[in-house]
Structure 1
Amino acid sequence: MNETKFCNLLTVEKNYREVHGPLSVIVCVFGSVANILNICVLTTKEMRWPTNFILTGLAVADLLVMLEYIPFSFHRYHNLEQRDYIQHFSYNGAVFMKFHALFSQMFHFISCCLTVILAIWRYLAITSPHNSRYWCDTRKTITVIVLTYLACPLICFPLFISLHIASHNQTCDINDKIIDNDTGLVFMNSSEVFYKTIYVTTYINDTYLTWSFWIYAVVIKLVPCVLLTYLSQKLVLVLLETKKRKNKLLNQNLPLTELKDSKPMMNARKKDKQADRTSGMLVAVLLLFLLTEFPQAILGFFGAIIGDKFQKQCYEPLGDIMDILALTNSAINFILYCTMSRQFRTTFQEVFKLNCLLRFNPLSQYTNASEKATEKTQISAV
């Protein structure tokens, strides 16, 4: 009886793996520097808002994920002459692979949860500004961030206990490269026939594997995606409705001849621009989150339903591609903040003394002072 074929992605996996190693290192180095810059800017006195505390917690989680991925990339994708035998089959290599699987998943889950919390905080600030001052103050925000960092490892605990390091003997011949049936990895040529004890990180049994995929696909991936999609949609609708209502009030209260150059209209235009930037950031973050998280959630969900064959044929060959998408999403927030928040750009220039070139312009000091006085908007990544 023919084995069911769900996907044929081995060629895609093989071709992309050649570039994934150096590409992931480049993305991680850039993302690590970018998130350090985010932390430096968001923790300044002028930027200590509840929303920015969440962004700081998000930057810390993303930074840890990328710092850990750099040695993993060298361990897995570099040193090609020795990686098949020494790195994958040594005991230390198996320990590191287990650590990577747990560490990266835990802090990426923290990042997803903080993104959802950020959306909730922003939604409350727009729909119930008076109540949000009580429920979303600095003290409660820090408490929620700390609880997130403590609760996510507990939710990921079943993943911790589902993996173990197994050992078994394998025959290696002088002229043959023997493929291990459990891992699909290849031994290097040896100088003689011998038995070698190898170590691999694997699931304890099929039951642990199934439960791990259910937790991963539904709790860690699918639930945050659904929540953030719903909240982001509500936020965009509220922003558009608020903008429409303000324009209607201005048209009703001001004569047509005074609309164009009146001070209220100029202030309204500034607020509209801020709303447009916020809406653009909402759409950008939503699309990035959906692009990186939803495919993983859907593939993991089907893997949990269909079983081990789908996981090996469809999910595992796309693992490197999903990794690079997630890393890119973690690294790009700095660009979004600089592009869509003038306050972030101004603070960034002051922290790193990048505005020294403008000191010869006598108008620059007054311009910066005016911007600080008139723009006290919080940065939001949702």
Structure 2
Amino acid sequence: MALTDMLTGVFPLPIFLYFFAMGNYVDPMPYNWCYSYKYLFENIPTIFHTASIWLTVGLAAQRYVYICHSIQARTWCTIPNVIRATLIVYAVAILSQVSRFVDFSFEPIPVTSKLQPNISYFGCVEMLKPWFSENMDLYLNIYFWFRVIFIHLVPCISLVVLNGLLISAMRNAQLRRMQLLKQNKKSESKKLKDSNCTTLMLVAVVGLFLLVEFPLGIIMTIYIADNTFQLALFKPETYSVMTLISNFFILLSYPLNFVVYCAMSRQFRETFKRLFTGGQSLEERECSQYMTVPTENGRTIFTGPETAL
């Protein structure tokens, strides 16, 4: 997830640096930048953003299974299954954008520099492929409604439900912890507290995710409905500004996730520190090795570290 979030912001970085940081946005785009701009600024970041969304859903779903269905977690939440699920998410994210790499081409046209009027060079104009231009309305409706439903609305609604279930599980776990303390079972109480800390951290990350993703989903829904039913609710420039602001906050949320991890997980801080300082890993994981969940008769089960966190 961290790698996916990082690459969502890294790929557009050359565009930001060359055109905006260096002031080259004033001139028409040179032909040798046209394909790079399209791929690095639009298509590839969309792939990683899509993968990031569904990896977040997968993490929340896994945590819910781990907390509330520990028996099933032993067979479902394993490292091989996590790897398979991650590969499937990336494959679907790539497939969802394949057509956007081949539905256009750029033609060179002579242009004059605005910064240096005596200099001419080749710019570009985007041309739609014949199969695209002949079926533009159908193609764009399918593509954008698919994104609105399966990349924004379904994941966001799923995360709202999963977050609610996790918060409910945390409240029940807190009540059980109080009972364990009354029974002087401090070891079990500590394990339950550590489990709650990990769950709370995930709830905070998912909450931050929903805070920045919901506006983009709403903007896209309005935009597609506007174009499908010819409502003319906003001007194209307004949609562009709203989308830019929403994307800015999405990119801003990625480093904030790191702050949440560091602030709420001592284990994360220690592991991150060992990446740079070296040292031996702890033999026993203190924060999340055992998860405490209730059974039907009120007893608790402690599941071991063979399942994935």
The TM-score, its normalising length taken from structure 2, stands at: 0.77
- Secondary structure of the 2:259 match is helix
Distance 1:250 1:378, change over 3 A: closer
The equivalent of 1:222 in structure 2 is 153
- Secondary structure of the 1:239 match is helix
Deviation at 1:73, TM superposition (A): 0.9
Is 2:109 the partner of 1:190?
no
Distance 1:351 1:282, change over 3 A: closer
Is 2:21 the partner of 1:78?
yes
Deviation at 1:298, TM superposition (A): 0.5
Is 2:229 the partner of 1:318?
no
> Which residue identity does 1:84 align to in structure 2?
V
Q: Which has a greater percent of helix?
A: 1
- Secondary structure of the 1:331 match is helix
Q: Is the 8 A contact 2:8 2:45 kept in 1?
A: yes
C-alpha distance in 1, partners of 2:288/2:49?
28
The TM-score, its normalising length taken from structure 1, stands at: 0.64
The equivalent of 1:282 in structure 2 is 202
Deviation at 1:152, TM superposition (A): 1.4
Counterpart of 1:121 (choices 37, 49, 62) is 62
**Higher RCO (C-alpha 8 Å, min separation 6):** 1
- 1:90-105 paired onto structure 2 within 5 Å: 90-100=30-40, 101-105=42-46
Deviation at 1:304, TM superposition (A): 0.4
Deviation at 1:70, TM superposition (A): 1.5
Q: Is the 8 A contact 1:165 1:199 kept in 2?
A: no
Deviation at 1:301, TM superposition (A): 0.7
- Per-residue CA deviation, residues 85-113 of structure 1 (Å, 9 max, x unaligned), is 24x2x222221121021100001111111
- Secondary structure of the 2:105 match is strand
C-alpha distance in 1, partners of 2:235/2:158?
25
- Secondary structure of the 1:377 match is coil
Say which is worse superposed, 305-314 or 330-339, in terms of deviation. 305-314
C-alpha distance in 2, partners of 1:97/1:315?
20
C-alpha distance in 2, partners of 1:376/1:277?
8
- Per-residue CA deviation, residues 11-58 of structure 1 (Å, 9 max, x unaligned), is xxxxxxxxxxxxxxxxxxxxxxxxxxxxxxxxxxxxxxxxxxxxxxx1
- 1:99-248 paired onto structure 2 within 5 Å: 99-100=39-40, 101-162=42-103, 164-167=104-107, 190-191=117-118, 198-201=123-126, 204-205=132-133, 206-207=136-137, 208-248=139-179
- 1:245-260 paired onto structure 2 within 5 Å: 245-248=176-179, 251=182, 254=183
Deviation at 1:276, TM superposition (A): 4.4
Distance 1:92 1:222, change over 3 A: farther
> Which residue identity does 1:375 align to in structure 2?
E
The equivalent of 2:293 in structure 1 is none
Deviation at 1:270, TM superposition (A): 2.4
Distance 1:127 1:289, change over 3 A: same
The answer for unaligned runs of 5 or more in structure 1 is 1-57, 178-186, 255-261, 356-364
Distance 1:278 1:108, change over 3 A: same
Distance 1:201 1:115, change over 3 A: farther
Distance 1:69 1:166, change over 3 A: closer
- Per-residue CA deviation, residues 93-138 of structure 1 (Å, 9 max, x unaligned), is 2211210211000011111111111111111111111111111112
The equivalent of 2:299 in structure 1 is none
- Secondary structure of the 1:306 match is helix
The answer for unaligned runs of 5 or more in structure 2 is 291-308
Distance 1:244 1:376, change over 3 A: closer
C-alpha distance in 2, partners of 1:349/1:197?
50
- Secondary structure of the 2:288 match is coil
> Which residue identity does 1:326 align to in structure 2?
I
C-alpha distance in 2, partners of 1:197/1:330?
37
C-alpha distance in 2, partners of 1:333/1:77?
26
Please tell me the root mean square deviation across aligned C-alpha atoms, in Å: 3.3
C-alpha distance in 2, partners of 1:188/1:132?
62
The equivalent of 1:291 in structure 2 is 211
Q: Decide which structure has the larger Cα Rg and report it.
A: 1
Distance 1:354 1:334, change over 3 A: farther
Distance 1:62 1:324, change over 3 A: same
- Secondary structure of the 2:11 match is helix
C-alpha distance in 1, partners of 2:125/2:160?
38
Deviation at 1:343, TM superposition (A): 1.7
Distance 1:79 1:373, change over 3 A: closer
C-alpha distance in 2, partners of 1:201/1:218?
28
C-alpha distance in 1, partners of 2:204/2:125?
40
